[in-house]
Chain A
Amino acid sequence: MSVSVDRDRAFLDAIDHIAEEHAAPNADAVDREARFPVETIAALRELEGLSAFIPTELGGGGIAFETIAAACFELGRRCGASAMVYAMHQIQVVTIVRHLEDSPWFEDYLRLLVAEQRLIASVTSEIGTGGDMGRSVAAVTPTPEGDYGFEKQAPTVSYGMHADDLFVTLRRSPDSEPGDQVVVLARKEQIALEQTGTWDPLGMRGTCSPGFVVKAAGLGGEQILATPFSRVAAESMVPVSHILWSHLWLGIATDAFDRARAFVRAAAKQKPGETPPTALRLSHLMSELSLLRAEVSSALGEFVELSDEPDRERLSTMACALRFNNLKIAASEQAPKVCQGALGVCGIVGFKNDTPFSVGRHLRDTMSACLMVANERIHQTNASLLLIAKDV
């Protein structure tokens, strides 16, 4: 992975600007109205931020993975939903880039993504699989016209109505076992979406993630990623998801902490010479935040180290699966804990939704973390892996 320090720094500066000028001022409206963060995503398109990770040979920004993670953190500090949309799109982009295997169709697709700043949503969850991403009901199905189609019942598709293209897990064929999966990149004009529910959730409201029946037709065989999904998931999609999500959860928690600190400072200024009682609680809160920060940053470092190795297969080992599963569990539990601690520091002005110290949105947004691939399901997987894994 080649890192151009100047280019990456300029990109992050631009992301900071978008976070401050577009994400922050609209965050409350996006949350209140449960609407898509159109301003932030438009600004990210303007920056060519949707293609930032795509290699320069394909016209992309050539930005390092660590910088993409830092961008998710920065956006998360200002608007959790904006950061989540950006992170989820990047998960699909990173996955495609890492498993291109010289596919001309996917290379052309990435060039098109650069030119048109196309937004990709993923359709991995499915009704009838019990929340197990490693199984599918819907299958890549040959059509009488000689191409392929599918119909998938998805309980949630984040920003499905706002996406240009969908990255969909499916059984390889109608005869395949539930675990024999592939990923298909379906273009907007090949898809029909039928919304199956409403979207009025507790948090992450701007991600606009109701259920859909997703129907596709006219798919070419070259739109199926050659690498089986089990490998794509282990080597890329799962660790990348957990890393980018945890960065934005850290971002949200960091802003909640910053608001609590601002509250304590304001109290200290009112009574110079005295340390306000809330300062002690803030100190406890800092310990909790630093635990979260340490876990997120060490996981990123380990992933980048393994990705640089010629043998990326090490990411498929059980030890690695446990490592990144633990990141997800730890970060998704710790982030709302920090936000709740910030609420404890700020008291009623934190509880109210219209003060500079409001942390209700932060708390609600981070409470979604434990549901995004339910923690109990991850614990079940870990429990099974622990029976055989040695050095964990």
Chain B
Amino acid sequence: MTEEIRQIIKDHGRLPIDADTLAANTDLPQAGMTSHASVNVMLALEDHFDIEFPDSMLKPSVFESIASIEAAVSELRSRVALS
């Protein structure tokens, strides 16, 4: 899943650096992802993984890094699997 998230960030994050150089816990805003770009990343994540981020998850800490995004996506997918 990490690589799928990385690809989405590459396509939609408009980072000034190469997304391949991002570590799992690199701070994305510090790496130059603007809030506008992060909205596009969220939309792409929802589309790609067929999930919907609830409002409680739409906060900076969830979209801080590849690792935090992966944790959120996993949680949402497990919720879907349970229901």
A residues with a Cβ closer than 8 A to B are: 134, 172, 176-180, 228, 230-231, 234, 313-314, 316-319, 381, 384-385, 387-392
Give the residue of A172, A228, A313, A381 whose beta carbon is less than 8 angstroms from that of B59: A313
Given contacts A134-B35, A317-B55, A388-B43, contact A176 B61 (CB under 8 A): no
Q: Which residues of B contact A387 (CB under 8 A)?
A: 39, 43
Q: Which residues of B contact A314 (CB under 8 A)?
A: 56, 59
Report yes or no: B30 in contact with A319, Cβ–Cβ below 8 A. no
Report yes or no: B31 in contact with A177, Cβ–Cβ below 8 A. yes
Q: Which residues of A contact B34 (CB under 8 A)?
A: 134, 179
* Closest chain A CB from B19 CB (angstroms): 14
* Closest chain B CB from A173 CB (angstroms): 11
* Closest chain B CB from A236 CB (angstroms): 14
Pick the most buried of A179, A314, A316: most chain B CB atoms within 10 A of its CB.
A179
Q: Which residues of B contact A313 (CB under 8 A)?
A: 59, 61
* Closest chain B CB from A268 CB (angstroms): 51
Q: Which residues of B contact A316 (CB under 8 A)?
A: 59-61
Report yes or no: A177 in contact with B55, Cβ–Cβ below 8 A. no
* Closest chain A CB from B11 CB (angstroms): 16
Chain B residue, CB-CB nearest to A177? B32
* Closest chain A CB from B14 CB (angstroms): 11
Interface string of B7-36 (1 = CB under 8 A from A): 000000000100000000000011111111
* Closest chain B CB from A246 CB (angstroms): 23
* Closest chain A CB from B13 CB (angstroms): 12
Given contacts A177-B31, A179-B29, A317-B55, contact A234 B60 (CB under 8 A): yes
Report yes or no: B29 in contact with A317, Cβ–Cβ below 8 A. no
Interface string of B52-70 (1 = CB under 8 A from A): 1111101111000000000
B42: interface (CB < 8 Å) = yes
* Closest chain B CB from A379 CB (angstroms): 13
Give the residue of B36, B55, B60 whose beta carbon is less than 8 angstroms from that of A390: B55
- 27 residue pairs of the A-B complex, CB under 8 angstroms, read A134-B35, A172-B30, A176-B30, A177-B30, A177-B32, A178-B32, A179-B35, A228-B29, A230-B29, A230-B60, A313-B59, A314-B56, A314-B59, A316-B60, A317-B58, A318-B58, A319-B55, A384-B36, A387-B39, A387-B43, A388-B42, A388-B58, A389-B58, A390-B53, A390-B54, A390-B55, A391-B54
Chain B residue, CB-CB nearest to A380? B36
* Closest chain A CB from B62 CB (angstroms): 10
Q: How far apart sit A177 and B34, CA to CA, in the bound complex (Å)? A: 10
Q: Which residues of B contact A134 (CB under 8 A)?
A: 34-35
Given contacts A385-B39, A388-B53, A390-B52, contact A318 B59 (CB under 8 A): yes
Q: How far apart sit A259 and B43, CA to CA, in the bound complex (Å)? A: 50
* Closest chain A CB from B17 CB (angstroms): 9
* Closest chain A CB from B60 CB (angstroms): 5
Report yes or no: A177 in contact with B58, Cβ–Cβ below 8 A. no
Q: Which residues of A contact B42 (CB under 8 A)?
A: 388
Q: Which residues of A contact B32 (CB under 8 A)?
A: 177-180
* Closest chain B CB from A337 CB (angstroms): 30
Chain B residue, CB-CB nearest to A176? B30
Q: How far apart sit A172 and B29, CA to CA, in the bound complex (Å)? A: 12
